[in-house]
Structure 1
């Protein structure tokens, strides 16, 4: 009884076959089914149960085959070959068909990553993705020092959400005053909405600029400390050199005894200026 309930639960969690994304469907199918450790024939039966007539026709020879081994893998391979888009078609869709529409920027990025996987570097994908974003969003992201596509997508989502909220509020306001608003009034409301959008973009721009200023200050402060440290080191070195030069100067004018013993010398030979320098 428990096994029957579990089988029903598994079947309920498997959607009908996705012709537009067969690889993803098989990934989900196997994730749901494999924990039950079914044999290949049981997996084949479950898979066929979630195909429509047009899909079953593609594997009719396998379904009708008397052979009962390897049918799941063979049918899977056949369906993928029939419905999986070629790399050329995937790239064409990536370059020409994918648009932002009602999606969030991060959702668009995830869709674009699928056909772009292992076919182009992140820098190229980023360029294609940015081209599909609103001009105001691109302007803010362009001054960001972030290199991670995921971080840029999160920033773009915030701007998208904020713009959507502003548009919703403005739309409700406009609908509430449709009957009483004159054409000049409607134009004024549109102007206010545009100003709100610009203000939101400017706020984000200022926040990014402040982060850049703080980073520059930290770098400048560190450089000044380094220069000050080197300056003090040179000053100490110059003081020591001056002291040494002064001592060497009077020593060169003294006789052998004063050069050797200084003030403790008991003898002196001319010429010697040691005593004269001491008096000075």
Structure 2
């Protein structure tokens, strides 16, 4: 009919050399992380305007023998249309863990090991799939960190989980660099501290010094304080008693020199009863 817009022409077929180039840029299938692998593969396939048949064949070329045996029925009788989508859904169905299994791994099977705290957090977020709130994920994640890192993270003002992970990375990097330096490793190539990491290390050092000073001073303070109070009361009582004796109207009044030095006094001032007392 007049005025109807003709359908767009189909995309030109991809040349065989171009298909080989596309295939070489895609890694072999990841059975442990199939969904992440399809994200990686489609980032190469989709911009090329490849046909359903080409995408299907490229994906097949990235499967190993064991994986092929799991989908023999599908590749023996593929659907007439939507072959790529059917293959993708079947692989995800076989190799992607159920949500309950992913939550089980998230709660009870994660550990930090040698990876960075930020890497651990990303893996945990993949398992959570937005079904676990950040407040809960933060608790699960922090429980897998070293105790001293948890202690610092609980007192910092930052509440964004991703930024906390970056902060934890810096703290562990600083700690590992310090450990290497402490054993005299001359080949250490630890990076210079950033301002954030240096601030954290400085604050931790200050806290450690304060705690050490408190632990050291507390026992001595109690012991010396008690003795000091007794000594102070004794001296105070003696002074009060001497003050009562040193009354000028008292016939036994002693001058300053004889009162203080007794027989060792070299001077005497009147009034003084030292000589009257027969000394």
Whether 1:83 aligns to 2:86 is no
CA distance in 2, matches of 1:23, 1:147: 30
Match in the other structure for 1:94: 106
Match in the other structure for 1:60: 72
Match in the other structure for 1:140: 152
Q: Which runs of 5+ in 1 are unaligned?
A: 176-198, 209-280
CA distance in 1, matches of 2:181, 2:82: 59
Superposed, 1:1-280 pairs within 5 Å as 3-65=15-77, 67-173=79-185, 203-205=202-204
CA distance in 2, matches of 1:55, 1:109: 29
Change (3 A) 1:127 1:93: same
Corresponding residue SS for 1:118: coil
Deviations 1:124-144 (A, max 9, x none): 000011101111111111111
Higher helix share: 1
CA distance in 2, matches of 1:200, 1:130: 21
Compute the TM-score of the two structures, normalised by the length of structure 1: 0.60
Contact 1:91 1:115 in 2 (8 A): yes
Deviations 1:219-264 (A, max 9, x none): xxxxxxxxxxxxxxxxxxxxxxxxxxxxxxxxxxxxxxxxxxxxxx
Give the superposition deviation at 1:7.
Answer: 2.6
CA distance in 1, matches of 2:201, 2:47: 52
Give the superposition deviation at 1:60.
Answer: 1.2
Q: Which runs of 5+ in 2 are unaligned?
A: 1-13, 188-197, 208-279
Contact 2:19 2:54 in 1 (8 A): no
Compute the TM-score of the two structures, normalised by the length of structure 2: 0.61
Contact 1:146 1:152 in 2 (8 A): yes
CA RMSD of aligned residues (A): 2.5
Contact 2:118 2:165 in 1 (8 A): yes
CA distance in 2, matches of 1:111, 1:3: 38
Task: Give the ranges of 4+ consecutive aligned residues of structure 1 lying more than 6 Å apart after TM superposition.
Answer: none
Corresponding residue SS for 1:98: coil
CA distance in 2, matches of 1:67, 1:118: 33
Change (3 A) 1:39 1:142: same
CA distance in 1, matches of 2:175, 2:48: 47
CA distance in 2, matches of 1:142, 1:35: 45
CA distance in 1, matches of 2:48, 2:206: 52
Give the superposition deviation at 1:17.
Answer: 0.5
CA distance in 2, matches of 1:172, 1:140: 27
Give the superposition deviation at 1:58.
Answer: 1.7
Corresponding residue SS for 2:28: coil
Provide the aligned length of Structure 1 versus Structure 2.
184
